[in-house]
Amino acid sequence: MRIVLLFVDFINLHILNSMKFWKSTLAVLFFVFIGYITFVFVYTPDKIVLTETEYAILTDKKEVAAGTNDTHYITTKLFGFIPIKRVAVDILPFDNVIVGGVSIGLVGNIENEEDEKISGVGILSFINPQNNNFSALGHQMTDFDNNKQVNLSGGSVYAVETIGIEKTNNKKTGVIKSILKSSEKPEGSIKKGTKFGVSGCLYADSEFLTRLSQNLPISTRYNVKSGKAILRTSLDNNKIEDVECQIIKTRYQSRKADKSMVIRITDKDFLERTGGILHGMSGSPIIQNGHLVGILTHATTHDPAKGYAVYIDFAEI
C-alpha cells in the first residue's frame, strides 16, 4: 500500500512539474507573440506608395481611381487573417513609363537666386507617357563655382552630343565627354530640381520622344530584390546600351532617402571600356524583371564598379 501511495505521489509531482513547465512555456510564447505584433505595428509605416497595379493586387480590386482625392488603404495581417494595422496608400499617378537612358542637357535657374543659372549633363531616367513629364539625374545639381548643391526652379533641357569617354583610372572616376547644345532649340522645360533629381516636361516635338519608345511598368521599393538587373545608359554617340549589373543591397526606407540600393556593374565588356561608372551616367534607369525599379545616382569612391541608386518611387517627377 505504501508503494502505491509513493507511486501516486510521484505521478502527481510529475504532472505538477509538467504543468509548471507548460505554463512557463506558454507565458514565454505569449510575450514573444505580443512583442512580435508590437514590433510589426510600430515599424509598419503609416503611409506607403504603390502603383495602381500593386495596390490592385494587394486588395483584389480590378480598378483603382489613381490621381483622385480618394484615400486608399490596405490592412496588414498576421498569418494572412489577423488584422494588425491599417496603412494609408498613396497611388502613383502613373503605372507605366517610357524608359530613358539617353544623355540630356540641363540648364536650370538656381532656386532663390535671381538670374543665377547652372548647367550640366546627366541621363534622362523616364518619361510619363500621359503628359510627357520627365525625371532625370536622380540627385541634386552641384554649383561647382562654390561646390554647393542647389535646388532648381525653372529652366530648359537640351539635346546633347556625346564625343567620347575618359576611362576611370587608378580610382579616379572617368567622365562622359559631351557637348550641351544650349544654342539650339530647347527640348522641354524644367519644373524643379531637388535632392532626388530634375523634373520637367518635354515638348511634343522633342527628339527625346522620338528616340525613346520602350514602355515598361514600374515597381516600387517594396518589390525590389537583390539579384540581377540591367542598367540602361548611353556613352559613345548617344547609343543606348543595356549593361548587366547586380543589385547587391537594398535598404528599407520608410520615407524618401538617397542610397536606397547598392549596385555593381558585372558587364565585362562595359568595364573594359569604361573602368566603371562614369561622371555623366547619373540618372541611368535600372530594370529588374521587366520593371523599372531605380535610378543610378553616384559611383562609390572605393570601387568604381559599384554605385548607389534610389528607388523609382523616390524620383523627382
Task: Tell me the pLDDT tens digit for each residue of 169-178.
Answer: 877 889 999 9
List where CATH 2.40.10.10 sits in the chain.
216-314
Architecture of domain 216-314: Beta Barrel (2.40)
Average pLDDT, the chain: 86
**Strand-pair partners of 227:** 247
Residue 10 has pLDDT above 60, yes or no: no
Q: Which amino acid is at 54?
A: E
More confident residue, 56 or 202: 202
Question: Any catalytic annotation for residue 298?
Answer: no
**Cα 169 versus chain centre, distance:** 29
d(CA 136, CA 121): 10
Residue 62 has pLDDT above 60, yes or no: no
Residue 155 has pLDDT above 90, yes or no: yes
Backbone angles phi, psi at 304, to 5 degrees: -65, -15
d(CA 158, CA 236): 18
More confident residue, 154 or 302: 154
User: DSSP 3-state assignment of 312?
Assistant: helix
* 23-27, 127-131, 282-286: least confidently modelled range: 23-27
Q: Contact at 8 Å (CB) between 89 and 48? A: yes
Question: Any catalytic annotation for residue 302?
Answer: no
Instruction: Identify the active-site residue in 103, 282, 291, 298.
Output: 282
Residue 270 has a pLDDT of: 96
d(CA 81, CA 77): 5
Residue 143 — pLDDT band, cuts 50, 70, 90? confident
Residue 113 — pLDDT band, cuts 50, 70, 90? confident
d(CA 61, CA 73): 12
Q: Parallel, antiparallel, or unpaired: how do β-strands 47-50 and 82-91 relate?
A: parallel
- CA dihedral (230, 199, 240, 233) positive or negative: negative
Statement: 99-211 belongs to CATH 2.40.10: yes
Question: Which residues contact residue 97 at a Cβ distance below 8 angstroms, ignoring those fewer than 6 apart?
Answer: 126, 127, 128, 129, 215, 216, 218, 292
User: DSSP 3-state assignment of 275?
Assistant: coil
Q: How many CB atoms lie within 10 A of CB 195?
A: 16
Residue 5 has a pLDDT of: 45
More confident residue, 155 or 38: 155
More confident residue, 129 or 84: 129
What average pLDDT score do residues 82-90 get?
84
| Residue found by looking up cell 509548471 in the block | 20
**Strand-pair partners of 234:** 240
| Residue found by looking up cell 524608359 in the block | 99
Instruction: Identify the active-site residue in 72, 95, 103, 139.
Output: 139
Question: Any catalytic annotation for residue 267?
Answer: yes
Instruction: Identify the active-site residue in 90, 258, 267, 303.
Output: 267
Residue 87 has a pLDDT of: 86
Gap between the terminal Cα atoms of the chain: 89
* 11-15, 56-60, 195-199, 259-263: least confidently modelled range: 11-15
Residue 243 has pLDDT above 60, yes or no: yes
What average pLDDT score do residues 51-73 get?
71
Q: Which amino acid is at 274?
A: T
Backbone angles phi, psi at 290, to 5 degrees: 75, 10
